Amino acid sequence: MKTKYLSIFFLTILFYACKSDKEQSAPILNETEIKTETMVKVPSKTDTPNYYVESDIKITPIEHASMVITFHDTSIYVDPVGEVVRYADFKSPSFILITDLHGDHLDIKTLEAINTTNTIIIGPQAVKDKLPESLLANFTVLENGQKKDDFLNKTAMYIEAIPMYNLREEALKFHPKGRGNGYILTINKTRIYISGDTEDIPEMRNLKNIDIALVCMNLPYTMPIEAAADAVLAFQPKTVLPYHYRGKEGFSNVESFKKRINDQNKSIEVIQLDWYK
């Protein structure tokens, strides 16, 4: 009887000793790894493609204000920020457009990580003043109202810089007139407007013949959805892609923006891509 209890006792000790060794040898995830595993979304085969295509032009959101526009063998990065791995699936850029000097538009670390050997970087003087020497050789200053059409020998495209600025008294400190650029790209006769950080300024309302408009809407930094919708109704682009819609208090109501437009003009197509996947 005594031998039986001793055997059970030693077997119990052996079981817990093995369990302890197993637990000690198991890998321990740190906080970053746990967050990464939790946050990464694995797209299913039924996911709607998160890009917009018109003719041979493709617009792919990266996040917030960052996007990649591709046509044929040409890639244009707009306000590239964040980890460079986000751009791994795209060809090295022929052009990089930078709208303003804030961190959600200008990220020097990202620019230095991108292969810009054969890239023309375009932006306002205020952006150039922030760049290190290593990025200046490829930089072209384009100010409000200026155009560049000498890219035609390389691509069927020209670029126009237009103003972007705030109107509301309480927001004037964010984006003064003349510092940053919105852009109009004309690619094979398709006109694409990129608003940058702006309100519903007269220069936006007076735009003509815009095929695709990327329009911002976030408070307190740019404009409310009502102002953005009224501006779109004024210049009547064929298609609108709302972007840059995360503000201090969260996301703007893009569905209300769309409804406000289509209640008055059903011919304007409003397409909501996911800029915050």
Q: Which pLDDT value is given to residue 48?
A: 77
| Domain boundaries defined on the chain | 51-270
Does this model's pTM top 0.85? My answer is no
Q: Which pLDDT value is given to residue 49?
A: 87
Reduced to 3 states (helix: H, G, I; strand: E, B; else coil), residue 67 is strand
Could you tell me the pLDDT band of residue 2, with boundaries at 50, 70 and 90? Answer: very low
Q: What is the pLDDT of residues 78-134, one digit of tens each?
A: 999 999 999 999 999 999 999 999 999 999 999 999 999 999 999 999 999 999 999
Q: What is the pLDDT of residues 176-193, one digit of tens each?
A: 999 999 999 999 889 999
Q: Which residues make beta-bridge pairs with 160?
A: 147, 184
Fold (CATH) for 51-270? Metallo-beta-lactamase; Chain A (3.60.15)
Q: ∠ CA(196), CA(156), CA(183), 5° rounding?
A: 10
Residue 273 has pLDDT above 50, yes or no: yes
Angstrom distances, CA of residue 135 to CA of 94, 113, 114: 14, 11, 11
